Copies of this chain bind each other. A is one copy, B any other.
Amino acid sequence: MRPLALLTDFGLADPYAGQLRAALARLAPGAPLLDISHSVEPFAVSQAAFFLAASAPHFPSSAVFVCVVDPGVGSTRRIIGAHLPNGEGAKGGQDFLAPDNGLLGLLLGTPGLARPRVFDLSDPASSYAASATFHGRDIFAPLAARLSAGEALEAMGRELAQKDLARPDWSEARERPGAPCEIDAHVLHVDRYGNCLLSLRASSPPPQPVSAVKMSWGQRRGVLQVRTYADIPAGAVGLLAGSQGFFELAANQASAAVALGLRRGDALRLVWAE
């Protein structure tokens, strides 16, 4: 059985993540269950998209991902599946199940991916007797169990063009038009250490070292582009290409989010000298 990776906003206090794991253990006995996180903030699709894009490369190359952050549960939003082959021409790959709400957006936008394919799974999804409110346990779990047992997405659903997927209004960082030494980005996630993960991929570094950050409310703060947390002087804020595949603002054993007053979702500009 292929391993199953779980990403939800169910939290760990309620029994929902436990019921999802239970259904998978019942329907796919023997498949290893691996939690990415169940603590995505309720309905925070962009945060889940970041968790998934940052984490998928570290999972087994045959993993099936069950991603349920689903404000539209019970409405008519589609359930989609994506297949990321292990490389052009290689066999196997990772599969992803999610609502069609942008959750797969950052993953599918990863530069250099072997050609991903996406499928509309509305038909097989509709075949499961489901509570109206818990599609994770009642629809996603049986779909994932079928993939874990060896079925292929292309045999289960109708192929879609990537451009037909829902596109959320949050997006990737971009150089600011008319201001060649600035990049517009936003905070995808603030982690428990206070590091601010930005919508700027480590694979697309600014052309020059960044020297300051401008907050959306006008404040400007100097930052130091560094290699690792230990390189950041006490009291300073660093910018580094962290371990998550995205740039992050960080302090050394302190919270950059507190130092800068940043929260998840905030917009900002990275600035460098010409």
Contact = CB atoms under 8 A, between A and B. Distances in A.
A55 B15 contact: yes
Interface string A1-43: 0010101001111111111011101100100111111110011
Contacts of A7: 18
Contacts of A34: 18, 21-22, 25, 33
A59 B18 CA distance: 9
B75 A133 contact: no
Interface string A47-62: 0000100110011110
Interface stretch (A66-74, A115-123, A148-156, A217-225): A66-74
Contacts of A131: 242-243
A243 B26 contact: no
Interface in A69-91: 71-75
Interface size class of A (residues with CB under 8 A): 35 or more
A12 B29 contact: no
A5 B32 contact: no
Contacts of A19: 36, 54-55, 58
A272 interface: no
Interface in A229-265: 229-231, 240, 242-244, 253
A133 B229 contact: yes
A132 interface: yes
A109 B42 CA distance: 32
B55 A230 contact: no
Interface in A112-136: 131-134
A227 interface: yes
B18 A37 contact: yes
Given A131-B242, A230-B72, A22 B55 contact: yes
B39 A25 contact: no
**Top 4 A-B residue pairs of the complex, sorted by shortest distance between their CB atoms:** A74-B228, A134-B243, A132-B228, A131-B243
Given A17-B37, A22-B34, 8 more contacts: A12-B12, A14-B192, A17-B35, A18-B34, A25-B59, A26-B61, A72-B230, A131-B242
Interface of A: 3, 5, 7, 10-19, 21-23, 25-26, 29, 32-39, 42-43, 51, 54-55, 58-61, 63, 71-75, 131-134, 137-138, 189, 191-193, 227-231, 240, 242-244, 253
